[in-house]
């Protein structure tokens, strides 16, 4: 390796806040990690970590050092990838930070198509809370951010965005499938399964019902898109999701997506972003470009045999 083990040790301890947990993750002795950290602190003449009762926290010196450590590790990965490319192996790796709805919805089909054309790549998909998606890219934990309505902070660059409108989601035999056009008022006859206030879709649903002058009394509130789609598939319940969230189920005929004119008050925006500074390696760049082109039709990405 072109970098010392201490860099890997520091990175894991900083992420986990614990020498013991880092040692378990790296399959090395805790004493070995602790010994190298103490030696480095002696060399620097300043503590890297503040020893707290239940965890370790980076000091100001540690914050400066860990930024250098992570950039060094990323540089090592880039050099390794370039060397492998020179060998003709055509390998590459990328980490995507995304949200559960996308990871469980359109992303698997897209990645399946990528694997067909790039069979020797290494793709990591990290599902993280919405507000942590930007930070995953900014800290170097991920190369690409893909999600709905997450905040764009300095240091991020939006490569592409695509607006998607919500609709009602019901079982194929639900009475709402016979109403054309369908309106929000028609939904009040049935149990409503609504995203809770932690979800990006909830303010849109609230606004639509308010503008329509209708009371919103959900039977069930949840933060799980999978739960909403499952209970809608079970029978009478009506849920409100975007077509990307349920594309797999609508393609199988398990759910019907019904667009409502009075639900189109505001779209959810799918955003694709990368770090504003620096350049991506070859394979992440290819993936970003293919994702950018696929976003307007992501819900239609299919394998040839589907």
Domain 91-159+271-300 of CATH type 3.40.50.970 = no
Task: Supply the Cα-derived Rg of the chain in whole angstroms.
Answer: 23
* CA gap 203, 216 in Å, rounded: 12
> Which residues make Cβ contacts (< 8 Å) with residue 246, sequence separation at least 6?
105, 169, 229, 255, 257
pTM for the complete prediction? 0.64
Give the right CATH number for 166-266 from 2.40.50.140, 3.40.50.970, 3.40.190.290, 3.10.620.30: 3.40.190.290
Q: Tens digit of pLDDT per residue, the chain (306 long)?
A: 445 788 889 999 999 999 999 999 888 999 989 999 998 999 999 999 998 888 999 999 999 999 988 888 887 777 776 666 545 445 678 999 998 888 877 888 888 888 877 777 889 999 998 889 999 999 889 999 999 988 888 899 999 988 888 999 999 999 999 987 888 999 999 999 999 988 888 999 999 999 999 999 999 999 888 899 999 999 889 999 988 888 888 888 999 999 888 888 788 889 999 999 877 877 888 888 888 888 776 544 333 333
Domain boundaries, the chain: 5-69, 91-159+271-300, 166-266
Would 5-69 and 166-266 be classified into the same CATH topology? no
- CA 254 to each of CA 164, 171, 175, 250: distance values in angstroms, whole numbers, following the listed order: 21, 6, 15, 6
Phi, psi dihedral angles at 184 (to 5 degrees):
-55, -35
pLDDT tens for each residue of 163-181? 888 999 999 999 999 987 8
pLDDT at position 285, please? Answer: 85
Q: 3-state SS string over 228-282? A: HHHHHHHCCCEEEECCCCCHHHHHCCCCEEEECHHHCCCCEEEEEEEECCCCCCH
pLDDT at position 298, please? Answer: 57
**DSSP state at residue 150:** P
pLDDT tens for each residue of 226-247? 899 999 999 889 999 988 888 8
Write down the architecture of domain 5-69 according to CATH. Orthogonal Bundle (1.10)
pLDDT at position 302, please? Answer: 36
């Amino acid at each position: 390796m072109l970098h010392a083990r201490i860099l890997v040790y520091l990175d894991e301890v900083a992420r986990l806040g614990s020498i013991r947990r880092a040692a378990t993750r790296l399959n090395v002795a805790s004493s070995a990690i602790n010994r190298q950290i103490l030696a480095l602190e002696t060399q620097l003449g300043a503590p890297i970590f503040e020893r707290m009762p239940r965890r370790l926290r980076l000091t100001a010196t540690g914050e400066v050092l860990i930024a250098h450590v992570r950039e060094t590790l990323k540089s090592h990965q880039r050099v390794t990838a370039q060397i492998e490319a020179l060998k003709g192996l055509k390998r590459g790796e990328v980490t995507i930070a995304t949200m559960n709805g996308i990871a469980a919805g359109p992303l698997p089909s897209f990645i399946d198509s990528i694997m067909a054309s790039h069979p020797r790549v290494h793709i990591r998909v990290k599902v993280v809370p919405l507000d942590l998606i930007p930070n995953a890219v900014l800290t170097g934990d991920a190369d690409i951010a893909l999600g709905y309505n997450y905040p764009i902070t300095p240091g991020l660059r939006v490569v592409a965005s695509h607006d998607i409108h919500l609709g009602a989601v019901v079982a194929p035999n639900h009475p709402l499938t016979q109403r054309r056009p369908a309106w929000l008022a028609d939904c009040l006859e049935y149990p409503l399964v609504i995203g809770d206030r932690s979800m990006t879709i909830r303010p849109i649903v609230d606004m639509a019902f308010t503008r329509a002058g209708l009371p919103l009394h959900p039977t069930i509130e949840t933060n799980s898109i999978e739960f909403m789609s499952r209970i809608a598939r079970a029978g009478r319940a009506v849920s409100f999701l975007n077509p990307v969230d349920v594309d797999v189920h609508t393609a199988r005929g398990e759910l019907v997506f019904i667009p409502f004119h009075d639900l189109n008050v505001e779209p959810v925006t799918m955003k694709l972003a990368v770090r504003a500074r620096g350049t991506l390696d070859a394979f992440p760049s290819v993936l970003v470009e293919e994702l950018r082109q696929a976003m307007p039709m992501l819900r239609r990405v299919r394998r040839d045999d589907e």
